[in-house]
Amino acid sequence: MPADPGLFWLVFAGTLAVGWAATVGYAAYRRRRRIRRRERHLEGLRYLLDDQPDRALEVFLGLAALDDETIDTHFALGTLYRRRGEVERAIRVHQHIVDRPGIPPRYRDAARMELGRDYVRAGLYDRAETIFLQLAEAGVEAGPALAYLVRIHELQHDWPQAAEAYERLRKVGLPEQPIAIAHFYCEMAETALAEGNLETARGHLRRAHEEQRDFGRSAILRGDLARRQGDPRLALQLYRLVVKRDFHLLPVVMPKLVEAARQAEDPEAFGATLEELLQSGKASRSEIAYAAIVSGYYDDPAILECVREWILADNDLKDITGALLPPGHGPSPEQLRAVAAAMRNVVLRHARYRCAECGLDSSTFLWQCPGCKSWETLRAIAALEFLPRAARPRSPQ
């Protein structure tokens, strides 16, 4: 029997109508969902603006789906929490993005990177290390991930691992502090020296020297090694080289220099080194005297002469000491020693070193600033500060 054309068109029209109704219905459903999501999103933002971070967090984490707009808000929210020190909340937000099924890989990787930063901030270094290692292995943001790995190992004073991460970082990008790896080897050398492993120390110092020529720290350590191996003359040469090249290291090197001169039975060496510094214009007598007082080694005739010059050059010191001496008389060596001891007491009551990068004060010399983590930025504070920092008048901005 031939098909009834009327029935055919009826079925066709019916199918179209059902299809159309389904499409319209689904579109309306999607629109309602989008509107509801948008309302929840705005509600979350309102909680955030009302400083109700917990309620905001619950709303955002409860959103049924993440689109481009809400995902940006999630990232902004996570960063905001971390900056405010609310690291647990930041972790929840970033973990939520990572765990979301069907999330585009670029968002998931970015969220893992942020999660790693959260863990660093929270001091959960093991977890951060795992994430950054995975990202570096996958070649995702390998440079920043490896830079974080270097930082994590530095924070944990795991110098061999720090050196390894640094080597990998160097292959994919420019490390922030090119000098850092030489310090890692010096740290390893210091540990080996302390444990009496002199050959191991020598190996690390060789690597430090390969990384950084004319490097004060490795020269000082090579001097220490030479003294341990019974060669104080070589130590003297190295220490002299350091202070001539890096005068700011004089407070660190001075006691070692004196000891090496004594071991080498060369009592003139110390005075001769100071004379070289003066003749070459690298330092003034006042600067040498100050460095000696900071280092604690000032009871030496050559230093006391520098102290005498310092008193004459500094108006405050001249007034104070002049008031105690008969007119026309300079201080005797005993009086110079007493003045130097008094100045040492003033120095000991204050921070002796300050970071040139972040301004952090420290009472001891450190190769790495504990504040900003920069290497070799601590310098002896350039002048005596008679008042504690809090009592000093603020300098105009």
Residues binding Zn ion (CB under 5 A): 355, 357-358, 360, 369, 371-372
Distance CA 338, CA 340 (A): 5
Minimum distance, C-beta of residue 369 to Zn ion, in the bound complex (Å): 3
Minimum distance, C-beta of residue 373 to Zn ion, in the bound complex (Å): 7
Minimum distance, C-beta of residue 356 to Zn ion, in the bound complex (Å): 8
Question: Which residue, 293 or 355, is less far from Zn ion as judged by CB?
Answer: 355
Minimum distance, C-beta of residue 251 to Zn ion, in the bound complex (Å): 18
Question: Which residue, 65 or 358, is less far from Zn ion as judged by CB?
Answer: 358
Question: Which residue, 75 or 367, is less far from Zn ion as judged by CB?
Answer: 367
Question: Which residue, 183 or 222, is less far from Zn ion as judged by CB?
Answer: 183
Minimum distance, C-beta of residue 393 to Zn ion, in the bound complex (Å): 24
Minimum distance, C-beta of residue 154 to Zn ion, in the bound complex (Å): 14
Question: Which residue, 296 or 371, is less far from Zn ion as judged by CB?
Answer: 371
Structure tokens at 98: 């990572």
DSSP-assigned states of every residue in 2-69: PPPHHHHHHHHHHHHHHHHHHHHHHHHHHHHHHHHHHHHHHHHHHHHHTT-HHHHHHHHHT-S---HH
Distance CA 70, CA 28 (A): 21
Question: Which residue, 150 or 193, is less far from Zn ion as judged by CB?
Answer: 150
Neighbours of 263 (CB within 10 A): 15
For residue 61, give Cα distances in angstroms to 33, 95, 205. Answer: 16, 10, 52
3-state secondary structure of 199: helix
- Cβ atoms 109, 140 nearer than 8 A: yes
Strand order of the β-sheet with 378-380 is 361-362, 353-355, 378-380
What residues have CB less than 8 Å from 341, skipping those under 6 apart?
A: 298
Question: Which residue, 41 or 373, is less far from Zn ion as judged by CB?
Answer: 373
367-374 contacts: CB < 8 A, separation 24 or more? 367/183, 367/186, 367/217, 368/154, 368/183, 373/151, 373/154, 374/177
Minimum distance, C-beta of residue 355 to Zn ion, in the bound complex (Å): 3
Minimum distance, C-beta of residue 150 to Zn ion, in the bound complex (Å): 17
Partners of 362 in beta bridges: 353
Question: Which residue, 223 or 251, is less far from Zn ion as judged by CB?
Answer: 251
- Cβ atoms 97, 108 nearer than 8 A: yes
